[in-house]
Amino acid sequence: MYRYDPHDMAIVQQRAAQFRGQVKRRLDGEISEDEFKPLRLQNGLYMQLHAYMLRVAIPYGLLSSAQVRQLAHIARTYDKGYAHFTTRQNVQFNWPRLEDVPSILDDLAAVEMHAIQTSGNCVRNITSDPFAGVAGDEIADPRPYCEILRQWSTFHPEFAFLPRKFKIAVTGAKRDRAAVAFHDIGLRIVEAAGGGIAFQVIVGGGLGRTPMVGPVIREELPERDLLSYVEAILRVYNRYGRRDNKFKARIKILVDAMGTEAFAAEVEAEWREIQDGGLVLDPGEVDRVRRHFTAPDYLDLPEDPSVLEAPTLMDPDFRRWVAGNVMPHRRPGYRSVVLSLKNGELPPGDATHHQLDAVADLADEYGFGEIVVTHRQNLVFPDVEVRRLHGLWQKLHRLGFATPNVDKLTDIISCPGLDYCTLANARSIPIAQAINRRLDDLDTLFDVGELHLNISGCINACGHHHIGHIGILGINKAGEEYYQLMVGGSNSDDASLATVLGRAFSADDIVGAVETVLRTYLTLREHEDERFLDATRRLGLEPFKEALYGTHP
Amino acid sequence: MPGFVISANRVHDGSVVYLDPERRWTSRLAAAATVPAKDQDALIAWARTQEALVCDPHAIKVRDGDDGPEPVDTKQRIRAAGPEATLESLGFLRAATPTAPVHRAEVEA
């Protein structure tokens, strides 16, 4: 993984020292909240419903075991003993005291982490495929390009005050696991017609108040032009983006208003001015960064899945886990393992300090000390030997991270919702837990199959409800929590937005409504292999509306 | 008595506080002063002079409850009661003892 050079280290240490002074002045009453607020937000420190919240950046979701141990230390020393992994592959602490935050930033800096640009109208954490570097369908490893973009965007003076926040995702695989169509800029590495690689450039996707599937504005961008082209996009956005209306300030609104062709023409014109300037990506520089992501010291192992067929390994729980949570790997004899943080008891994405310490130890024992955060709020061990899967499973099982539900009904994405968030209209976590308790049996009985159920507590859509196969959106009706139910969203190659089925349900009724939708699917699916998403696309909304509302939608 | 309570977040830890009848900040909603709508603006203006202690003062609508004022709005009820689903409430956390951080030298080793 990328290791800080002295320049990187100096930046984060200086930033932490600077914030220590700012916090002292605030606590001493020397600066007002109005003066302090932009300073704390530039360091990822929000004020939430009950306390401050510190959001820590995890570039493209990649962590070392030492970093995870430090997160555990921060959780138990400065917080209430747990951390929350987010849909943007970041981690949040929900209860830090203001006076402790500078020390937290010092501890983060010691392990090459920070909270810079995790808030504000700037380029946020660059996200990627959680299986980057090990996926069998990968054209090229996206992480060196994520890192190059991270370095380019960190403290970029021209883009520190954009019209609104700006999110970039990069994938290098044939199958999109980074939701690139729903980012301000989505970059897909493709095989260039003339050989080598190029980037397909998608601009203006997003969720929130106005969800949009981003259009492609360039099919093949040469590697050398990556930074200059992205800079041109941001310049066009900075020039024309709506600063007069927060709700219309994201680039998706600009692209939609201008039209894709007109927007692309503006970008191309701007790009021609800077194409051959200082941002040309030198192959030597790409190689320098790429060397941080070279393959670890894999053993020469045969690809022999029969090692999992031994009579001693016939435990049905282990079989289900292998089928659900163990993913293919490009290297013979290895697999990637998804640690489910959705065991039905913990809030989705939460991990205690004990669990974080254990995860760090297991990453060292069973892998190469690397852990990846997924946008579905789970963790990944990228490199596990097939022959050691059973031993790892036993330990993950004891840890509560071996629930075999990855990409299944109970692998629920949930934002913190009104339990924590000032923006939320309704709670998300208790709904996720209630669905898990009530419908886990249904999944076991009928094998519902692949199903993404995503819950957001408000229209800002941190829980990605628009792109769940089933989406739930919390709303406020006369001061009470209600929930809209929608179906048909997808975040992958068949990107689509979910459609609301009808009137919202109360907190007491939403779980039953989800069950009704699932039972309708189970009744009407053509065969057991027809996925929920495919069935909804074939059937349309009417059977689900009929089941939920009868003749009164 | 239906009315309003002035609330804010403490600067040092962000915790929720309410203004009591003696114009002191308390974490107990039951001890908060319920005031009529006409007094809101003056009290919020006064609360803003307290910004070394609290931030974002605002008025919340309350009604009479069994234990003093009770927020009318769900958001304020949750804000007063705390998160429903915390790991503490679920029994997952033992008391956390502070530890020494991972030091830079260990990472570089």
ipTM for the predicted complex comes to 0.90
On whether the CB atoms of residues A465 and A471 are closer than 8 A, the answer is yes
Least Cα separation, residue A94 to chain B (angstroms) = 10
Least Cα separation, residue B54 to chain A (angstroms) = 9
* Two structure tokens written together for A300: 């020469």
Could you tell me which chain A residue has the CA closest to the CA of B102?
A70
Least Cα separation, residue B57 to chain A (angstroms) = 11
- Taking residues A370-377, report their average pLDDT: 97
* Two structure tokens written together for A294: 């070279």
Amino acid occupying residue A204? G
Tokens 């068949």 correspond to A494
What percentage of chain A exceeds 70 in pLDDT? Answer: 99
Q: Residue A305 above 90 pLDDT?
A: no
Q: Residue A152 above 70 pLDDT?
A: yes
List of residues 6+ apart from A307 with CB closer than 8 A: A386, A387
pLDDT digits (tens, 9 = 90+) for A56-108: 999 999 999 999 999 999 999 999 999 999 999 999 999 999 999 999 999 99
List of residues 6+ apart from A155 with CB closer than 8 A: A11, A116
Q: Residue A446 above 80 pLDDT?
A: no
Cβ distance B14 to A47 less than 8 Å, yes or no, reads yes
Least trusted range by pLDDT, from A262-266, A399-403, B31-35, B99-103: B99-103
Residues of A within 8 A of B12 (CB-CB) are 27, 97-99
- Taking residues B37-45, report their average pLDDT: 95
Residue A480 three-state SS: strand
Nearest to A111 by CA among A159, A61, A73: A73
Q: Residue A344 above 90 pLDDT?
A: no
Beta strands of A48-118 (E only): which ranges?
Answer: 52-56, 62-64, 82-85, 91-93
Least Cα separation, residue B11 to chain A (angstroms) = 7
Distance CA A64, CA A363 (A): 8
Cβ distance B56 to A33 less than 8 Å, yes or no, reads yes
Tokens 């099982």 correspond to A397
Helix (H) or strand (E) holding B107: helix B104-108
Q: Point out the residue among B85, B97, B107 whose CB comes nearest to the CB of A429.
A: B85
How much is the pLDDT for A439? 87
Q: Checking DSSP bridges between strand A185-191 and strand A197-203, what pairing results, if any?
A: antiparallel
Q: Which residue has the higher pLDDT, B73 or A173?
A: A173
- Taking residues A352-381, report their average pLDDT: 97
List of residues 6+ apart from A140 with CB closer than 8 A: A172, A189, A197
How much is the pLDDT for A392? 97
How much is the pLDDT for A354? 93
Residue A178 three-state SS: coil
On whether the CB atoms of residues A55 and A115 are closer than 8 A, the answer is yes
> Which pTM was predicted?
0.95
Q: Point out the residue among A77, A80, A99 whose CB comes nearest to the CB of B12.
A: A99
What percentage of chain A exceeds 90 in pLDDT? Answer: 92
Residues of B within 8 A of A49 (CB-CB) are 16, 75, 78-79
On whether the CB atoms of residues A517 and A548 are closer than 8 A, the answer is yes
- Taking residues A203-215, report their average pLDDT: 96
Cβ distance A70 to B101 less than 8 Å, yes or no, reads yes
| Residue A386 to residues A303, A340, A403, Cα–Cα distance (Å) | 9, 19, 19
Nearest to A177 by CA among A167, A189, A166: A189
pLDDT-derived band of residue A160, with 50, 70 and 90 as boundaries?
Answer: very high
In DSSP terms, A186 is beta-bridged to A169, A202
| Interfacial residues of B (vs A; Cβ cutoff 8 Å) | 9, 11-16, 51-52, 55-56, 72-75, 78-79, 82-88, 90, 92-94, 96-104, 106-107
Q: Point out the residue among B85, B98, B107 whose CB comes nearest to the CB of A77.
A: B98
How much is the pLDDT for A311? 75
> How many degrees, rounded to 5, is the angle at CA A367 between CA A151 and CA A3?
20
Least Cα separation, residue B21 to chain A (angstroms) = 22
What percentage of chain B exceeds 90 in pLDDT? Answer: 65
Residue A12 three-state SS: helix
pLDDT-derived band of residue A479, with 50, 70 and 90 as boundaries?
Answer: confident
A352-365: buried (b, 16+ CB within 10 Å) or exposed (e) per residue?
bbbbbbbbbebbbe
Residue A421 three-state SS: coil
Residues of B within 8 A of A50 (CB-CB) are 14-16, 79, 82-83
Distance CA A410, CA A343 (A): 8
Distance CA A105, CA A108 (A): 5
* Two structure tokens written together for A272: 């021609």
Looking at every residue in chain A, the average pLDDT score rounds to 95
- Taking residues A368-380, report their average pLDDT: 97
Alpha-helix residue ranges (DSSP H) falling in A204-315? 226-240, 251-258, 260-274, 283-290
| Residue A420 to residues A46, A157, A476, B36, Cα–Cα distance (Å) | 11, 32, 16, 29
